[in-house]
Amino acid sequence: MKILVTGGAGYIGSHICVELLQAGMEVIVLDNLYNASRKALERVKQISGRTLTFYQIDIMDKAGVRNIFDRESIDCVIHAAGLKAVGESVENPMKYYRTNLGGLLNVTEEMQRHGVKNIIFSSSATVYGDPEPDQIPLKEDFPKGTCSNPYGWTKWMQEQILTDIHMADPEWNAALLRYFNPIGAHESGLIGEDQRGIPANLLPYISQVAIGKRPYIQVFGSDYPTPDGTAVRDYIHVTDLARGHVKAIDWLYNKGGLLICNLGTGRGYSVLEIIHAFEKACGKELPYKFTSRRGGDIAAYYADCSKAARELSWTAEYGIEEMCRDSWNWQRKNPDGYQ
Ligand code: NAD
Ligand code: UFG
pLDDT value at position 20?
98
**Residue 121 beta carbon below 6 angstroms from any ligand 1 atom:** no
- Ligand 2 pocket test target in 176, 294, 324 with most atoms within 8 Å of CB: 294
Of 195, 179, 278, the closest CA to residue 237 belongs to 179
Amino acid identity of residue 226, one-letter, is T
Give the whole-number percent of the chain exceeding pLDDT 70.
100
CA-33 nearest atom, ligand 1:
11
Quick one: 258 exposed, middle or buried, by C-beta within 10 A (0-12, 13-18, 19+)? middle
Give the ligand 2 atom nearest the CA of 230: 15
CA separation (Å) from 64 to 30, 40, 99, 290?
10, 22, 15, 48
How far is the centre of ligand 1, averaged over its atoms, from the C-alpha of 138 (Å)? 23
- The closest residue, in CA terms, to atom 34 on ligand 1 is 84
Does the annotation mark 151 as catalytic? yes
pLDDT band at 267 (very low <50, low <70, confident <90, very high): very high
For residue 125, pLDDT over 90 is answered with yes
Residue with the smallest CA separation from ligand 1 atom 31 is 80
Report strand pairing: 53-56 vs 76-79.
unpaired
The pLDDT tens digits for 25-72 are 999 999 999 999 999 999 999 999 999 999 999 999 999 999 999 999
**Residues 153-156: contacts with CB under 8 Å, at least 24 apart:** 153/97, 154/82, 154/89, 154/96, 154/97, 154/100, 154/101, 155/100, 155/123, 155/124, 155/126, 155/127, 156/126, 156/127
- Report the pLDDT value the prediction gives residue 60, as an integer from 0 to 100: 98
**Ligand 1 atom at minimum distance from 8 CA:** 9
pLDDT of residue 296: 87
What pLDDT band is residue 15 in, cutting at 50, 70 and 90?
very high
**Taking the C-alpha atoms of 191, 196, 200 and 205 in order, what is their torsion angle to the nearest 10 degrees?**
60
Work out the average pLDDT over 251-278: 98
Residues 99-111: pLDDT tens digits?
Answer: 999 999 999 999 9
Report the pLDDT averaged over residues 227-239: 98
Q: Output the pLDDT for position 173.
A: 98
| Ligand 1 centre distance from Cα of residue 294 (Å) | 22
Ligand 2 center–CA 27 separation, angstroms: 31
pLDDT, tens digit, 9 for 90 and up, residues 170-188: 999 999 999 999 999 999 9
Q: Rounded mean pLDDT of 306-319?
A: 98
Contact 14 CB / ligand 1 (< 6 Å): no
| pLDDT score recorded for residue 187 | 98
Tell me, using a 6 A CB cutoff, whether residue 233 lines ligand 2. yes
Whole-number pLDDT of residue 136: 95
| Ligand 2 centroid, distance to 134 Cα (angstroms) | 21
Q: Are 78 and 12 in contact (CB under 8 A)?
A: no
Average pLDDT over all residues of the chain:
97
Instruction: Please give the number of the atom of ligand 2 that sits closest to the Cα of 180.
Output: 35
Among candidate residues 128, 151, 179, 302, the one labeled active-site is: 151
Q: Does the C-beta of 12 come closer than 6 Å to ligand 1?
A: yes
Residue 154 CA to residue 161 CA, distance in Å, equals 10
Pocket test for ligand 2, best of 100, 158, 181, 193 (most atoms within 8 A of CB): 181
Q: What value does the mean pLDDT take over residues 298-315?
A: 97
- Cβ of 182 closer than 6 Å to ligand 1, yes or no, is yes
Residue of 159, 202, 263, 272 to test ligand 2 pocket, by largest number of atoms within 8 Å of CB: 202
Q: Is 55 helix (H, G, I), strand (E, B) or coil?
A: strand
